[in-house]
Chain A
Amino acid sequence: MKIKFRIILAILFVGLAFASCKKDYPVDEDGLLVTTRQECYVSSFELLGTDFVTVRTKTAAIDTTALTIKVEVLFGTDLKNLYPQFTLATDCKLDPKITGKTDFSDLAHPRKWTVVSGDRKIRKEYTVLVTVQP
């Protein structure tokens, strides 16, 4: 009776040990969770000046089909020193990452960012088109 009890305990212990080592979800190279979500879009966009105050004249126009973000900024905006802020669909990430001030002064060559879906399989490149208030 005692031996049976010990065997059952040992089996339970080994089973638990295996279960504890199981990985539920994989993570990507940034340590972010890779999920099953396939949504891949920008839901809102903000542009801040060096004083961390918005420079937009109105809400940015995001076209998720044409993959463009059109934003008009105030007259006198310092285009070389702006902080863009993207709001993305759940579990998405941005490539390249925004690490600080971004130069938008070359209006002929608009800046581009790629949105990557939660399952990391869908990539959509958005173009940010900045115009200055006339």
Chain B
Amino acid sequence: MLRKIFISVLIPCTAFLLLLSACKKDPYALPVAKDVLQNDVIKRNMGPNVTGTAIEFAYAMALPRSKGKLVSAEVEATIAGGAGTYMDNNSYYTANGADVPVKVGDPSVTSGTKTTVNFTVDTPAATLRYFYIVPAAAKGQTVSFTFTAKASDGETVSYKMGPYSISKMDMIRNITVKDGGAMFVSIADSTVYTAATLGANAAKVDLIYLYRTPANKTFAHALVAPAADTQYLPGVVLPTGVNKNTKILKVFNLQDHQLAPTLQPGIYVDDPDFQQLDMSTAPNFAINLKAEAGVWVETADGKWRAYIFINSIDNANKSAVISMKRYPVQ
């Protein structure tokens, strides 16, 4: 009898009660703001930190209106930033997807490792953007940042970011190479010479750019080592001293976002790619190069490895625009 009561009454009642309690809404309470100066930071850019590029942050700071106003915002880097390092003196809000600036302080002042913005408007909250230009001195090291905000009541608050690795590689973008003109590419000098400007730098030429349209063959745009077989350098007269046997490996669909900012966000060539690169069987020529293709390069002396990206090609002018990341192996 007891068993029957248990099954027919107690279990359904318990289940019903559980159901009711499961549907109960917790009462919502408005969060109470902390009565102190607060701050937060986000990093706004992706990819390797390469010399000359910016590491970008957004630094938010706020305190209750009753406590006063913001006085200054400061960032201290462990390695002084390169020329152009600054903190934006505008705070931004978004309207219809566009950033709208609101001036809140004087232009930033950078002195050594510190960059400071002094507020000129009475505001209890702001978000300032900080652009750290990676200096050449930081190559292969790490850099950290301390963001500090100061309020009118004397209170300060800090936020640490990092450490961030700085790439050993560097890059150069949008160099125009032209058959019969600026066609002698030097990885070590990170530049392109013409026969006239080559001068004493002949021994530094690693690649020769040329454009050919032979009958019944596909040649087109090419990057060829000076020491390559002459069939890959048709009609090219090598200046004295241009004789390096550079290794070249063709690649496609490797649209580095730093070399081609309008393409493929999220793809980056970084130091480990150069470290793990196997060029042991690579040839010394790459012909029929298309726009958005690229080549891995290793100099004859093994000191440099590079990735050259073909930004665009111009058949009519027998020229191309290339960008390069290079990595010192030794």
**Complex Cα distance A75/B216, Å?**
10
The minimal Cβ–Cβ distance linking A133 to chain B, given in whole angstroms, is 6
> Does residue A68 face the partner (Cβ distance < 8 Å to B)?
no
Q: How large is the interface on B (under 10, 10 to 19, 20 to 34, 35 or more residues)?
A: 10 to 19
Q: Which residues of B contact A78 (CB under 8 A)?
A: 249-250, 282-283
Q: Which residues of A contact B232 (CB under 8 A)?
A: 76
- Please tell me if the beta carbons of B250 and A74 are within 8 angstroms of each other in the complex: no
**Complex Cα distance A45/B303, Å?**
39
Stretch at the interface among B18-26, B91-99, B121-129, B285-293: B285-293
**Complex Cα distance A75/B281, Å?**
18
- Please tell me if the beta carbons of A80 and B251 are within 8 angstroms of each other in the complex: no
- The prevalent SS among residues of A at the interface is loop
> Does residue B145 face the partner (Cβ distance < 8 Å to A)?
no
Q: Which residues of A contact B251 (CB under 8 A)?
A: 50-51
- Please tell me if the beta carbons of B293 and A81 are within 8 angstroms of each other in the complex: no
- Please tell me if the beta carbons of A52 and B285 are within 8 angstroms of each other in the complex: no
- Please tell me if the beta carbons of A76 and B252 are within 8 angstroms of each other in the complex: no
- Please tell me if the beta carbons of B293 and A51 are within 8 angstroms of each other in the complex: yes
Q: Which residues of B contact A75 (CB under 8 A)?
A: 217-219, 287
Q: Which residues of A contact B287 (CB under 8 A)?
A: 75-76
Known contacts A50-B250, A52-B253: A103-B285 contact under CB 8 Å: no
The minimal Cβ–Cβ distance linking B278 to chain A, given in whole angstroms, is 9
- Please tell me if the beta carbons of B281 and A51 are within 8 angstroms of each other in the complex: no
Q: Which residues of B contact A51 (CB under 8 A)?
A: 250-253, 293
- Please tell me if the beta carbons of B218 and A53 are within 8 angstroms of each other in the complex: no
The minimal Cβ–Cβ distance linking B69 to chain A, given in whole angstroms, is 59
- Please tell me if the beta carbons of A50 and B249 are within 8 angstroms of each other in the complex: yes
Q: Which residues of A contact B250 (CB under 8 A)?
A: 49-51, 78
Top 4 A-B pairs ranked by shortest CB distance?
A: A51-B252, A76-B287, A75-B217, A51-B250
